């Protein structure tokens, strides 16, 4: 049977969303629940942040907060910045990204390829330290006070949730037999909370588990720390994280996540980044606990192509 082919769309922004779901076959041990992964790297920049970028810009346009000629600014590790740079390129806005050398060079180059201007906050260790992202946010906040800029402010902007709810609605349609557990790593927490809002309404028995790096267990233990998992573990409790919308928080070892990334590529044909590896490690933990006949769902946050210059996929 031939798959349904999407119809032509008016612009690349209309190609955001409607991503496929696959069941993992080889990395999940016998005797476990089924594990499904939503492949968000099918979005135009290879990341689910495209959903958030589109909704933040279009909701602001509809309210009149973002007007022609304004400059969009955001503090970003690169994935949100790449997505915003794409949306701004299509819509004709200039984009200023507050970022850092702690993030993958592929992401920095992607932003500039779409026409963004970068302001780099140095990280001497090359890691995401507890004060790095707050420093980037402070810069973006100061620039936004000039009045000529629109600060999308991903950590506080509820317009982001609008875009992420699309993942939840799609999962309900794609897995009509039900979802027992959904798990996802937390950066801004927008994705996890957007999906949780939908599942709480459409599949209220589904458990929601949020994830973070074990070396920076702020949600699980109240302890800050450094790590190298881009896009998550931001050094503060994200304002979008609503306690009534999740059932459990887990801390996952970064080394296990990196090993899982390599396994996913070699055994499942899925080339993904470290936060996705972390998601899958947690999903398999949950699948072991649940046992056969149940379903655990997570997301492939972004494509591993963004990390080929780093150590993630270097030969063992």
pLDDT of residue 43: 98
**Got the DSSP string for 72-133?**
EEEE-SSHHHHHHHHHHHHHT-EEEEEEETTS-HHHHHHHHHTT-EEEEE--TTSSB-TTHH
pTM over 0.85: yes
Give the C-alpha separation, 248 to 243, whole Å. 9
Calculate the alpha carbon distances from 281 to 36, 212, 289, 302 in Å: 12, 12, 13, 16
pLDDT of residue 209: 98
Domains of the chain plus CATH, in order, are 12-44+161-306 (3.40.50.1100), 48-151 (3.40.50.1100)
Residue 265, SS3?
A: helix
Give the C-alpha separation, 103 to 84, whole Å. 16
Give the C-alpha separation, 106 to 50, whole Å. 16
Sequence length of the chain is 316
Report the 10 Å Cβ neighbour count for 107. 25
CB neighbour list of residue 308: distance below 8 Å, 6 or more residues apart? 106
Q: Which of 130, 138, 127 is nearest to 100 (CA)?
A: 127
Marked catalytic residue, from 38, 49, 107, 306: 49
Calculate the alpha carbon distances from 104 to 110, 306, 307, 312 in Å: 10, 7, 6, 11
pLDDT of residue 2: 55
- Whether 49 is a known active-site residue: answer yes
C-beta of residue 111 within 8 angstroms of C-beta of residue 78: yes
pLDDT of residue 9: 92
- Whether 127 is a known active-site residue: answer no
Marked catalytic residue, from 82, 228, 275, 306: 275
Two tokens at 147? 């009045």
> pLDDT in tens for each of the 316 residues of the chain?
456 788 899 999 999 999 999 999 999 999 999 999 999 999 999 999 999 999 999 999 999 999 999 999 999 988 999 999 999 999 999 999 999 999 888 889 999 999 999 999 999 999 888 899 899 999 999 999 988 999 999 999 999 999 999 999 999 999 999 999 999 999 999 999 999 999 999 999 999 999 999 999 999 999 999 998 988 988 889 999 999 999 999 999 999 999 999 999 999 999 999 999 999 999 999 999 999 999 999 999 999 998 898 889 986 5
């Amino acid at each position: 049977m031939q798959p349904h082919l999407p119809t032509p769309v008016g612009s690349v922004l209309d190609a955001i969303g409607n991503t496929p779901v696959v069941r993992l076959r080889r990395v999940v041990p016998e005797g476990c629940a089924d594990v499904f992964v939503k492949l968000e790297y099918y979005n135009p920049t290879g990341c689910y942040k495209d959903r958030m970028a589109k909704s933040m810009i279009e909701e602001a346009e509809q309210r009149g907060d973002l007007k022609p000629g304004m400059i969009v600014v955001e503090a970003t590790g690169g994935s949100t910045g790449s997505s915003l740079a794409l949306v701004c390129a299509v819509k004709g806005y200039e984009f200023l990204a507050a970022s850092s050398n702690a993030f993958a060079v592929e992401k920095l180059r992607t932003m500039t390829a779409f026409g963004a201007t970068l302001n780099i906050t140095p990280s001497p260790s090359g890691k995401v330290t507890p004060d790095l992202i707050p420093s980037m946010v402070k810069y973006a906040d100061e620039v936004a006070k000039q009045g000529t800029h629109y600060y999308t402010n991903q950590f506080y902007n509820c317009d982001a949730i609008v875009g992420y709810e699309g993942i939840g609605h799609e999962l309900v349609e794609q897995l009509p037999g039900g979802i027992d557990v959904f798990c996802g790593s937390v950066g801004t927490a927008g994705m996890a909370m957007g999906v949780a809002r939908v599942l709480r309404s459409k599949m209220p028995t589904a458990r929601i588990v949020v994830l973070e790096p074990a070396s920076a267990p702020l949600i699980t233990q109240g302890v800050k720390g450094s790590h190298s998992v881009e896009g998550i573990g931001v050094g503060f409790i994200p304002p979008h994280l609503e306690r009534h919308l999740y059932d459990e928080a887990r801390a996952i070892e970064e080394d296990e996540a990196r090993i899982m990334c390599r396994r996913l590529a070699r055994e499942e044909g899925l080339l993904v980044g470290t936060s996705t590896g972390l998601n899958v490690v947690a999903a398999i933990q949950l699948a072991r606990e649940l046992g056969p006949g149940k379903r655990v769902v997570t997301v492939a946050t972004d494509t591993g192509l963004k990390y080929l210059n780093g150590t993630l996929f270097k030969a063992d």
